[in-house]
């Protein structure tokens, strides 16, 4: 029998007390902001995509009295510049951007929160700099394996959303449909503006329609709003295998580097974007991490069960004492 999650409201809306652009390498500039308690425990939010950018709602997973909440837009998206750029946009570059931001903000250790692609980047960053991570909160695990990409962009989710899939494949001639990611990449990097725009819209619509357990126009709209950056940057990463060796994120040597870090994994049971097998595979090699399946949630962090589980996770890692802001 399907269990129904008890909902939980997010923390109230807040505004940043500081924000700026930071010059990083290769001509990129990234937007960052801090909110909550300047004296609180630092908490870094890593957005998904890659290419979706941050939103004010993401600040609200954290108790603003206890946490110094840090958000930033990864290369090429949100307020970062140049917008939608694929040049020098790789996983390794993003990891170094995170370290540059940590140094700029004079953070010793921070809680790192990431969902979907954010979980990928959080794992990669923690494995590179385990001494800088106090806790991990991960949601909708994505390990950048070829099988995961094929399930969502080739055959798998298509069996459950055949109507939405039909609109997605309509952009691609039948003779190119054996490799949808490559076919879309050709169009998303086309010199023709209409070709690019049509491909951006279709790519983002497919993801938006499949991201929640039940249809949610606000979530679909959020994908439409970032269609250009999320489609181009995602496809750029995926056609390049995420710029990481296949399966490397869960190799024993890498997991051993983070095994000591307290971690909570929140996974929607019916996640069709990042299916539960990836979270299970991560848990099998890292049993010390606390895996929490939400029985009535899909991919979105804002599905009722996922939202409550993520809020609870951040509260569990909240410092027991802190200076009021």
Give the per-residue pLDDT at 323.
Answer: 67
Rg, the chain, Cα only: 19
Give the per-residue pLDDT at 2.
Answer: 55
The CA-based dihedral angle spanning residues 264, 218, 187, 176, taken in that order and rounded to the nearest 10 degrees: 80
Q: The pTM is what?
A: 0.96
Give the domains, in start order, of the chain with CATH numbers: 18-145+245-316 (3.40.50.1820), 147-242 (no CATH)
Question: Is 24 within 8 Å of 63 (Cβ atoms)?
Answer: no
Give the per-residue pLDDT at 324.
Answer: 64
Closest CA to 73 of 60, 54, 48, 97: 54
Closest CA to 119 of 107, 136, 135, 96: 136
In angstroms, rounded to a whole number, what is the distance separating the alpha carbons of residues 123 and 216? 29
Write out the catalytic residue numbers. Answer: 116, 271, 299
* Residue 165 backbone phi and psi in degrees, to 5: -65, -35
Question: Is 212 within 8 Å of 219 (Cβ atoms)?
Answer: yes
Q: Which residues, in sequence order, are CB contacts of 142 under 8 Å at separation 6+?
A: 116, 117, 119, 120, 148, 274, 278
Residues of the chain with pLDDT below 70 are 1-3, 322-325
In angstroms, rounded to a whole number, what is the distance separating the alpha carbons of residues 138 and 141? 7
Q: Which residues, in sequence order, are CB contacts of 276 under 8 Å at separation 6+?
A: 267, 268, 269, 293
């Amino acid at each position: 029998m399907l269990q129904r999650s008890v909902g939980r409201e997010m923390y109230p809306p807040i505004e940043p007390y500081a924000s700026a652009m930071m010059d990083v390498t290769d001509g990129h500039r990234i937007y960052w902001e801090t909110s909550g308690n300047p004296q609180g425990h630092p908490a870094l939010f890593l957005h998904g995509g890659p290419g979706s950018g941050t939103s004010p709602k993401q600040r609200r997973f954290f108790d603003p009295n206890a946490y110094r909440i840090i958000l930033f837009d990864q290369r090429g998206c949100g307020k970062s510049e140049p917008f939608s750029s694929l040049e020098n946009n790789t996983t390794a570059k993003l990891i170094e951007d995170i370290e540059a931001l940590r140094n700029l903000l004079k953070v010793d250790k921070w809680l790192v929160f990431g969902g979907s692609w954010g979980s990928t980047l959080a794992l990669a960053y923690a494995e590179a700099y385990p001494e800088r991570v106090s806790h991990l909160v991960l949601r909708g695990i994505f390990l950048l394996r070829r099988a995961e990409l094929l399930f969502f962009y080739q055959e798998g989710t298509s069996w459950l959303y055949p109507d939405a899939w039909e609109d997605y494949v309509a952009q691609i001639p039948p003779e190119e449909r054996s490799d949808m990611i490559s076919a879309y990449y050709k169009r998303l990097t086309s010199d023709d503006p209409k070709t690019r725009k049509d491909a951006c819209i279709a790519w983002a619509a497919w993801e938006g329609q499949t991201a929640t357990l039940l249809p949610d126009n606000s979530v679909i709209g959020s994908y439409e709003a970032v269609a250009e950056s999320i489609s181009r940057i995602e496809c750029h990463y995926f056609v390049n295998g995420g710029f990481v060796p296949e399966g490397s994120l869960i190799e024993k040597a890498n997991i051993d580097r983070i095994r000591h870090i307290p971690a909570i994994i929140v996974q929607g049971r019916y996640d069709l974007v990042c299916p539960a097998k990836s979270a299970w595979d991560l848990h099998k090699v890292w049993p010390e991490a606390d895996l929490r399946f939400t029985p009535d949630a899909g991919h979105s962090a804002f599905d009722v069960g996922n939202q409550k589980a993520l809020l609870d996770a951040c509260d569990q890692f909240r410092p027991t004492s802190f200076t009021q802001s």
